[in-house]
Amino acid sequence: MKFLNWNAAVGVAGVARVPREIIFVYHGYPKLVHANAGNGEFFVMHGLPGYLVPVAGILEGFGEFVCWCWDCSRGRVALLLAIEMGVAIWKVHSGTDTWR
């Protein structure tokens, strides 16, 4: 990638962060505000305890906010978000035909 200098690479990374932030907040907000509206049953149906709904909402909503404000996208919060997404993909999509 010699055609990109450092400033261009940082600009591309910044543009790519915006959709990620929107997606995390979009999925974390309902888990916080509407925690009892079927989210608990969805978690239990996929083998996760129901008390993880607010934990996932806090991590998705405020974790992405922390990454945005303090630019720690390579830090501990980003690692927690990556682990959460890995578990979510594994539990929701394992054993189903949703990947076709």
Q: What is the pLDDT of residue 33?
A: 84
Helix (H) and strand (E) counts for the chain? 4, 0
- Look at residue 46 and give its three-state secondary structure: coil
pLDDT at site 4:
55
Residue 82: what are its φ and ψ, rounded to 5°?
A: -65, -40
Q: Residue 100: its pLDDT value, please?
A: 47
Give the Cα separation of 17 and 57 in Å (integer).
19
State the pLDDT at residue 30: 84
Per-residue pLDDT of the chain (100 residues; tens, 9 = 90+): 555 565 555 566 667 777 888 888 888 888 888 767 688 888 888 888 888 888 888 888 888 777 767 665 567 888 888 898 898 888 887 765 554 4
Interacting residues of 99 by C-beta distance below 8 A, sequence separation 6+: 93
